[in-house]
């Protein structure tokens, strides 16, 4: 049980459990308070408790409690004191839209011009909510209508983004300049679109806002509409003359951004308005290519945006690096539809990723991927960093269907990896009985040695099942071959969970007794 007791600047935290009580007394300091809770073993509730550490006057301002605020003032409280979060009581009540509280605080000397750590005044906070009466009270008490915060934003900008049209019109009536830009070059129209404010967007356009004015990064208002996902504001902008083919400083178009976010309805709107889906960035990203990147993350098929673009005849550069990345994603996710489309469009089937894997190595666990890749000119015996081929990895991991497909496609069964291990050795190490049997039927060599001088029987005795050891003996594996450590297969049987049974099998197969 946790209780927190307050007395002036002192906090008493009491935690009781199983008739034992811990008590910590600290001053009202967030860091000390957090340390106290940590001492009590209550780290998981630090955030919750600290959220409740607001002073009584701040809590009163948050709920618009005039009586409590009056009591605070009559007790000598300073209404202009900056609270822990950098705000004054007036800012807190203004943000909550509490007209009576704002009126009272102003009447007892609250200063509407004080700024918080981000340069915001009470009017900024009032402009972000919908109660215009609060802003009216502040303006009537001397609040500056076009005061800018540290980001260069005026209250009108806050209203455009989140406060609503009524708030914006009030500020305009009181002299707000609707043509200003913030430090990032954003206009009120940019911010209204970012906030998804349809009515504010229409009002600003009707008031002469430029639908093609770029911000500091070259993004015109339609970029913001696309990013907000609001197709209605996109339509409004296009009707007002917004250019759907503008590019920002990265070379991105609204179409590319919409495609990357899989906003199909907006992609359709842009296409209908004459947007060119084939505009490419400096690294060859197009609307279709980024839609394919998104599609590659699916378990199967193209997403709706990619289908729309494909049907519109959109193109992409199959040699672009992000298309290669998409191919590896599709191989790993077994999205054969995307993989097939990329390969049929000219993607090099022999590409490698940052891990030096080919598409076949990356997707070998998925038989449908192997089936698709073997239709193209894939390097079927390409090796990974350990020198393993796709066939070797399939043998080791037990990807039986992929293994069969690769054998049928002509994969080389005689390759040895960087450890000197054959495909048969890897299948034995992986304890893959069916694969071992299939390889032995195909006359896989049982006498080959790895870099440690181990034969396949050494490896089987150390880790494989009794059934696999019997198969190896039946196939003629040399039972008394000695590795570089001077061990026979029977000496390595001690490493096996079925050590006794393995020893008996080997002795029955003609092995000498194990070394003492």
CB atoms within 10 A of CB 84: 13
Please tell me whether residue 173 adopts helix, strand or coil conformation.
Answer: helix
> Comparing C-alpha atoms, which of 177, 110, 126, 117 is closest to residue 150?
117
> Comparing C-alpha atoms, which of 357, 356, 355, 347 is closest to residue 377?
347
**Model confidence pLDDT, tens digit, residues 218-277:** 999 999 999 999 999 999 999 999 999 999 999 999 999 999 999 999 999 999 999 999
**Model confidence pLDDT, tens digit, residues 270-322:** 999 999 999 999 999 999 999 999 999 999 999 999 999 999 999 999 999 99
Structure confidence at residue 349 (pLDDT)? 94
Element (DSSP H or E) covering residue 170? helix 165-173
> Comparing C-alpha atoms, which of 316, 317, 338, 319 is closest to residue 327?
338
CB atoms within 10 A of CB 208: 8
User: CATH code for 419-516?
Assistant: 1.25.40.20
C-beta of residue 499 within 8 angstroms of C-beta of residue 487: no
pTM of the model: 0.81
Please tell me the distance from the alpha carbon of residue 439 to that of residue 412, in angstroms, as a whole number. Answer: 12
Higher pLDDT, 145 or 45: 145
Please tell me the distance from the alpha carbon of residue 465 to that of residue 354, in angstroms, as a whole number. Answer: 36
Tokens standing for residue 132: 């215009």
Quick check: 51 pLDDT over 90? no
Please write down the HEC assignment for all residues of 444-460.
CCCCCCCCCCCCHHHHH
Please tell me the distance from the alpha carbon of residue 122 to that of residue 396, in angstroms, as a whole number. Answer: 68
Give 495's pLDDT tier (boundaries 50, 70, 90).
very high
For residue 512, give the DSSP letter: P
Half-sphere exposure at residue 60, Cβ-oriented, CA atoms within 13 angstroms: 23
Please tell me whether residue 13 adopts helix, strand or coil conformation.
Answer: strand
C-beta of residue 213 within 8 angstroms of C-beta of residue 173: no
Taking phi over 0 as left and psi of -120 to 50 as alpha, with beta for the rest, 149 belongs to beta
Chain mean position to CA 17: 40
Tokens standing for residue 123: 């009017």
**Model confidence pLDDT, tens digit, residues 331-385:** 999 999 999 999 999 999 999 999 999 999 999 999 999 999 999 989 999 999 9
């Amino acid at each position: 049980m946790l209780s927190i007791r307050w007395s002036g600047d002192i906090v008493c935290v009491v935690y009781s459990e199983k008739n034992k009580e811990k008590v910590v007394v600290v001053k009202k300091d967030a860091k000390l308070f957090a340390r106290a809770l940590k001492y009590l073993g209550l780290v998981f509730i630090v955030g919750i408790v600290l959220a409740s550490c607001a002073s009584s006057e701040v809590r009163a301002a948050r709920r618009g409690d005039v009586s409590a605020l009056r009591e605070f003032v009559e007790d000598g409280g300073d209404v202009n004191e900056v609270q822990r979060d950098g705000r004054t009581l007036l800012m807190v009540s203004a943000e909550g839209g509490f007209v009576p509280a704002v009126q009272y605080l102003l009447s007892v000397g609250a200063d509407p011009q004080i700024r918080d750590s981000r340069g915001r005044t009470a009017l900024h906070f009032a402009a972000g909510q919908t109660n215009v009466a609060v802003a009216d009270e502040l303006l009537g008490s001397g609040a500056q209508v076009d005061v800018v915060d540290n980001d260069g934003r005026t209250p009108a900008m806050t209203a455009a983004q989140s406060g609503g049209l009524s708030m914006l019109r009030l500020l305009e009536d009181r002299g707000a300049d609707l043509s200003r830009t913030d430090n990032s070059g954003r206009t009120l129209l940019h911010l209204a679109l970012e906030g998804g404010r349809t009515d504010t967007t229409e009002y600003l356009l009707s008031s002469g806002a430029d639908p093609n004015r770029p911000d500091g990064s070259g993004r015109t208002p339609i970029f913001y509409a696309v990013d907000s996902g609001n197709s209605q504001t996109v339509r409004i902008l296009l009707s007002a003359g917004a250019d759907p083919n503008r590019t920002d400083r990265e070379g991105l178009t609204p179409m590319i951004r919409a495609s990357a976010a899989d906003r199909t309805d907006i992609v359709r709107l842009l296409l209908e308005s004459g947007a060119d889906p084939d505009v490419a960035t400096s690294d060859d990203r197009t609307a279709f290519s980024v839609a394919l990147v998104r599609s590659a993350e699916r378990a199967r098929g193209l997403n709706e945006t990619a289908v729309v673009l494909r049907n519109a005849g959109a193109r992409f550069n199959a040699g672009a690096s992000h298309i290669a990345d998409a191919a590896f994603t599709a191989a790993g996710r077994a999205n054969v539809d995307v993989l097939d489309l990329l390969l049929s469009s000219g993607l090099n089937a022999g590409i490698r990723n940052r891990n030096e894997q080919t598409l076949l190595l990356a997707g070998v666990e998925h038989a449908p991927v192997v089936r698709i890749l073997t239709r193209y000119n894939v390097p079927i015996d390409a090796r990974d960093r350990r020198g393993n081929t796709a066939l070797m990895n399939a043998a080791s991991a037990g990807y039986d269907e992929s293994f069969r497909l690769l054998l049928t496609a002509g994969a080389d069964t005689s390759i040895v990896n960087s450890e000197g291990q054959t495909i048969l050795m890897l299948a034995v190490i992986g304890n893959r009985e069916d694969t071992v049997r299939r390889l032995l039927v195909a006359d896989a060599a049982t006498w080959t040695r790895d870099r440690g001088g181990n034969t396949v029987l050494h490896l089987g005795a150390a880790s494989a099942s009794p059934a696999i050891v019997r198969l190896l003996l039946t196939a003629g594996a040399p039972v008394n071959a000695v590795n570089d450590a001077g061990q026979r297969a029977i000496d390595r049987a001690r490493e096996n969970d079925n050590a006794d049974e393995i020893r008996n099998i080997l002795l029955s197969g003609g092995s000498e007794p194990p070394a003492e």
